[in-house]
Chain A
Amino acid sequence: MWTLAQRERLALEHQMLHSQGMTQFSVFHESRDDSYYLFGTAQTNAGRSYDLYAPMPQGFPDQRPSLYVTKPNPLRMADGRALSDLGISHTMHTLSSATSGAIQICHWRDAQWHAAITLHRVMLKALLWLEAYEQHLATGRSIDAFVRTMGGST
């Protein structure tokens, strides 16, 4: 059961996503089971589209939401293997995949997560991860190699 504060926070998260220009993402409420989730289709520089899905945990915002790439599924690596085959991968910044095979992006470690982190920052990381993923496709290098490049260049 969600508290009033949680519901207000989720409504605020939705407004913040849109006010920050991330209108491709929205927070939805599923009335059948009173659950909340974030969903949207992200587009990369190269013009490819990816569906992103983040079910809100009952402990949100104190608990980190999981974030999945639900389409394309399977998400392939440069060598053609499914990225989900790796499971938890430090070099590719992925956590355990969903049973459907959808990739879970490691956007924040649980130990680093706190309630002040907003969903628009999570989605910003998701967009950066997708750019790094496409760089992986183009070069074969792992995502963490590209992340270092991004970090060193900013």
Chain B
Amino acid sequence: MTAGPNQQAMIREAMESIAQRRPGRTRLVYDKTRRTIVAVSAADRSQRGLDITAEDAEMFV
């Protein structure tokens, strides 16, 4: 089973904001409420959760 056209469109839409991020503009953070990774504006300090970037997490070292 693979992702159907609708699923792919949904995934693509959900990922768009992450894919279009610019360096220094956004951060990946763990949203405790949604319990998933979200991209937020670097200026947005209202995020309450584990504020950690992929680099901070030593992602795939």
Interface residues, chain A, with chain B CB atoms under 8 Å away = 20-24, 42-48, 72, 76-80, 93, 106, 108-109, 112, 120-121, 124-125, 127-128, 131, 134-135, 137-139, 144, 147, 149-154
Contact = CB atoms under 8 A, between A and B. Distances in A.
Interface string B1-29: 11100011011101100110111011110
B36 to A, nearest CB: 5
Kindly name the residue among A43, A77, A112, A124 whose own CB sees the greatest number of chain B CB atoms within 10 A. A124
B60 A93 contact: yes
B61 A124 contact: no
Interface in B18-44: 18-19, 21-23, 25-28, 30, 32, 34-38
Contacts, number: 117
A125 B58 CA distance: 9
Contact of B8 (A47, A93, A121, A137): A137
B55 A151 contact: yes
20 contacts: A20-B32, A21-B32, A45-B37, A79-B2, A106-B60, A121-B58, A124-B52, A127-B36, A128-B28, A131-B37, A134-B14, A137-B3, A138-B11, A144-B60, A147-B54, A149-B18, A150-B59, A151-B55, A153-B23, A154-B55
B59 A80 contact: no
Contacts of A48: 11
A76 B2 contact: yes
Contact of A45 (B38, B55, B57): B38
B54 A150 contact: yes
